[in-house]
Structure 1
Amino acid sequence: MATLNNYHHVFTTTQKQTKPIKFTKPLLLSSSKLFHKSRNSCKKQYPLVKSVAEDKEFVTEKISVVVEHEREEENGSEDEEEEVVVKNEFVGKAINACIVLGFGTLGVTRLLTIDHEFWHGWTLYEILRYAPEHNWIAYEEALKENPVFAKMVISGIVYSLGDWIAQCYEGKPLFEFDRTRLFRSGLVGFALHGSLSHYYYQICEALIPSKDWWVVPAKIAFDQTAWSAVWNSIYFVVLGLLRFESPENIFNELKTTFLPLLMAGWKLWPFAHLITYGVIPVEQRLLWVDCVELIWVTILSTYSNEKAETRISDTTSDVDPTQ
């Protein structure tokens, strides 16, 4: 009984101590409150998203600044290159003008001052009157002393002038000619044409010494077949070597221009050589031929450089895949 009483006592005391749980507010979550909480949670995460967007904008701005800087550098380099090109063109024009004016002044001065040692008491009319005659006498004396060298100098001058005329004929301004091309042509005239032509006219006169009427046509025919073929070939081969071209290119250029040039010469030289072989003495023939060469060198130089430029442009178009 004592045990039951004790158990009843413990149960009653625990039952008295425990109080029922009372809910003062109902446990209901409305949809508006739930949306409000989710919105607040999104507001808490928004600063992180905002920082990422700001970083992207910063990186984009930085890249744009770098690109603009690179463009400015490229534009600056292009401007510098254009300035360098303009300066080089100006320097080239100045050098060409000095060459033309210098050699022109020197030549005219030498021709006009041939009698400067005897000018004492001379009038201007007397100076101009005797200058051509005395220059011709000086030329004949030079032919007697050293005929080959005198003819080499004349041919070099004529071929340089002919190439200059050819460049002007091709559309280049007066002081914008190619100095290297001018030098090549003058070198060929000086080193080869003057000396070879001197010996050619001597040999031609020795082979056909007759004075009959048929001699002039025979010499013209030989000149416009054998000699023209030889000299045109020499001219194109040597110019190609001076341009450092390959033997294949030189041979192709010679093959394509051989007959056109030979036939073009038939329109000019037979009429000129009527005077060459019919009137002019042997020692004076090259001077007359060189005067006509001013026209012929223009044709030769134009043919040669047109072929070279065409070949260079074709090579460039074959190499460049965008062409």
Structure 2
Amino acid sequence: LLCPFKLLFFFCNNKPIMSALNNFATHILSSSSKRSLQESRKTQTLSINFSPTFTIQNIPKPPSRISFVCPINAVTEDKEAEARQENEKKESNGIEIEEKLKNSFLSILLDKERFFNASIVLGAGTLAITRLLTIDHEYWHGWTLYEILRYAPEHNWIAYEEALKANPVLAKMAISGIVYSVGDWIAQCYEGKSLLEFDRTRMFRSGLVGFSLHGSLSHYYYQFCEALFPSNDWWVVPAKVTFDQTIWSAIWNSIYFVVLGFLRLESASNIFGELRATFWPMLTAGWKLWPFAHLITYGIIPLEQRLLWVDCVELAWVTILSTYSNEKSEARISEELSEAKSDSSSSKLPED
């Protein structure tokens, strides 16, 4: 037990050994202090390298003027865009509503027009069929339906001949008025309108011309033609057809065109200008139909029955006449509207 103490005492009293131990201890302490300093420097560099970035990234910057102005401008632009979109939606909705109202109003008007036209057609057709079928209503007692339909055509023909004897001009005027009205209706259907969308005013004008002019003038014309060519030779029928398709056709086509123009309240210059433009086409169009029809008119049909035959053929001819007349009028109206629009646009250009 006393040996370690003795050794310690020995080393302590020996000066060289103690100096060597002191040098060794100081060397060890200096090396450990250097290591600690290096480690502390490394930690400081790490903290210097990483901690500023951490603090810079995490510490909020003070608000600048730009950070306030840009969001405000974006918000105001978004509000303006939303307002514009809402206004556009309102305008589009208003336009759609207006168009729907217009379409509904037009559809209502068209429905009313169709209903009125249908009532006219139904009433006129019912009246005509009733008058034709009830010609023998006073003698119907005990008749069968077959007997009524059998004797109706014959007795209607007898009634027509009696009317011709009693008042030939009025009877022919009535037939021509009906034929010209129906012919104009056929012309409107040929132009693309449906059966119940016809123009009543236009049909009434055509029927008025047929009633007031064609029936009476044709009655006296056929009598004049018989007096002009009294012979029964072979050349009389071609002569009458030639006279009819040159002199009389030119006169009647001009009368029909001019009177319809005045009934449409057009000016005289427009009427005669359109007449000059359509005179020759209308006359040559008649040559495709009437020469063949008039071979029967002047060769077979008796004088008093000629107008009825001619009116039956004129269902096709009035369609041609009415189409020519109304096409020119509608073309002139469309040209006037286009000229008015061009004049208004040209007058606005200098102001702009």
Would you call these one fold, judging by a TM-score over 0.5?
A: yes
Counterparts of 1:209-288 in structure 2, within 5 Å, are 209-288=230-309
Q: CA deviation at 1:189?
A: 0.7
User: Residue 141 of structure 2: SS of its match in structure 1?
Assistant: coil
Please point out which of 135, 150, 164 is paired with 2:171.
Answer: 150
Measure the CA separation in 1 of the matches of 2:318 and 2:63. Answer: 94
Counterparts of 1:70-85 in structure 2, within 5 Å, are 70-85=91-106
215 and 63 in structure 1: CA distance in 2 versus 1, 3 angstrom threshold: same
Measure the CA separation in 2 of the matches of 1:247 and 1:240. Answer: 8
Residue 136 (structure 1) aligns with: 157
Q: Any gaps of 5 or more consecutive residues in structure 2?
A: 1-60, 346-352
Q: Does 2:216 match 1:195?
A: yes
Residue 29 (structure 1) aligns with: none
Measure the CA separation in 1 of the matches of 2:286 and 2:233. Answer: 25
Measure the CA separation in 1 of the matches of 2:183 and 2:166. Answer: 27
User: Residue 198 of structure 2: SS of its match in structure 1?
Assistant: coil
The amino acid of 1:205's aligned partner reads E
Q: Does 2:205 match 1:177?
A: no
Q: CA deviation at 1:163?
A: 1.1
The amino acid of 2:307's aligned partner reads L
Residue 4 (structure 1) aligns with: none
Measure the CA separation in 2 of the matches of 1:237 and 1:199. Answer: 21
Residue 41 (structure 2) aligns with: none
Residue 17 (structure 2) aligns with: none
The amino acid of 2:188's aligned partner reads Q
User: Residue 320 of structure 1: SS of its match in structure 2?
Assistant: helix
Measure the CA separation in 1 of the matches of 2:190 and 2:227. Answer: 39
CA offsets 1:223-245 (integer angstroms, 9 cap, x no match): 11111000000111111112222
Q: Does 2:111 match 1:90?
A: yes
Q: CA deviation at 1:94?
A: 1.6
Measure the CA separation in 2 of the matches of 1:151 and 1:95. Answer: 28
Q: CA deviation at 1:117?
A: 0.8
Q: Which moved more, 1:101-110 or 1:199-208?
A: 199-208
Q: Does 2:120 match 1:103?
A: no
CA offsets 1:157-216 (integer angstroms, 9 cap, x no match): 001111111222222222222222211111111111111111111222223322232222
Q: Does 2:65 match 1:65?
A: no
Q: Any gaps of 5 or more consecutive residues in structure 1?
A: 1-38
CA offsets 1:223-268 (integer angstroms, 9 cap, x no match): 1111100000011111111222222221121111111111121221
Counterparts of 1:43-58 in structure 2, within 5 Å, are 58=79
CA offsets 1:263-315 (integer angstroms, 9 cap, x no match): 12122112211221222222211111101111111111111122222223333
Measure the CA separation in 2 of the matches of 1:150 and 1:142. Answer: 6
TM-score (norm 1): 0.80
Measure the CA separation in 2 of the matches of 1:48 and 1:269. Answer: 90
The amino acid of 2:96's aligned partner reads N
Q: Does 2:338 match 1:317?
A: yes
Measure the CA separation in 2 of the matches of 1:160 and 1:206. Answer: 31
Q: Which moved more, 1:159-168 or 1:287-296?
A: 159-168
TM-score (norm 2): 0.74
Residue 303 (structure 1) aligns with: 324
Measure the CA separation in 1 of the matches of 2:174 and 2:114. Answer: 26
Measure the CA separation in 2 of the matches of 1:83 and 1:110. Answer: 40
The amino acid of 1:309's aligned partner reads E
Measure the CA separation in 1 of the matches of 2:305 and 2:335. Answer: 44
Measure the CA separation in 2 of the matches of 1:199 and 1:67. Answer: 70
Q: How many residues align?
A: 283
Q: Which moved more, 1:70-79 or 1:234-243?
A: 70-79
Measure the CA separation in 2 of the matches of 1:166 and 1:308. Answer: 15
Taking every aligned residue pair, what percent have the same amino acid on both sides? 66
